[in-house]
Amino acid sequence: MILGVGTDLANIDRIAGVLERHGDRFRNRVFTETEQHKAERRKDVAGTYAKRWAAKEACSKALGTGLRMGISWKDMAVSNLRTGQPVMQVTGWAANRLAEMTPEGHIAVIHVSLTDDHPWAQAFVVIEANPAT
């Protein structure tokens, strides 16, 4: 069953400007070390950060909160499987919220899809609950 759906659209040029103005202060407040290492190795640094920004926004919407109620940017983190598929991990308050919204006897799975076409980066997040086996 679907527990939540979220989407977000981020402007890559806007994120590039924030990176230019605020640098490490912005990176360290919003992105985990893993996300930063991934982005800094990419040709399109700002685009990589913009996609992860959009994914965090989309995840917060799928959790039914938006970025309020104690959720932190770093409570949601995007990494990639070896295949390149993005995956979302949640910790802290976001993990607590996910557990709260997951029916007993079910396991929550977070699906994330990222795309970009300059100047836009977009993310979709679907949270699904599957019966525990």
Range of the domain at 33: 2-131
What the block records as the tokens of 81 is 């499987």
Cβ-Cβ contacts under 8 Å for 116 (sequence gap 6 or more): 12, 44, 47, 50, 51, 122
- In the predicted model, what is the mean pLDDT of the chain? 95
Handedness of CA 32, 51, 111, 82 (dihedral sign): negative
The predicted-structure confidence for 44-74, as pLDDT tens digits, reads as follows 999 999 999 999 999 999 999 876 666 789 9
- Residue 76 belongs to a domain with what CATH number? 3.90.470.20
Strands (E), the chain: 2-11, 76-80, 86-90, 106-117, 120-131
Residue 104 main-chain phi, psi, to 5 deg: -60, 140
Instruction: Give how many domains the chain has, as a whole number.
Output: 1
pLDDT band at residue 92 under the 50/70/90 scheme: very high
Q: What is the pLDDT of residues 2-21, one digit of tens each?
A: 999 999 999 999 999 999 99
Residues 94-98 have a mean pLDDT of 95
- Supply the pLDDT for residue 68: 67
What is the number of other CB atoms lying within 10 angstroms of the CB of residue 19?
Answer: 17
pLDDT at 2: 98
Q: Measure the CA–CA gap between 94 and 76, rounded to whole angstroms.
A: 7
Beta bridge partners of 5: 126
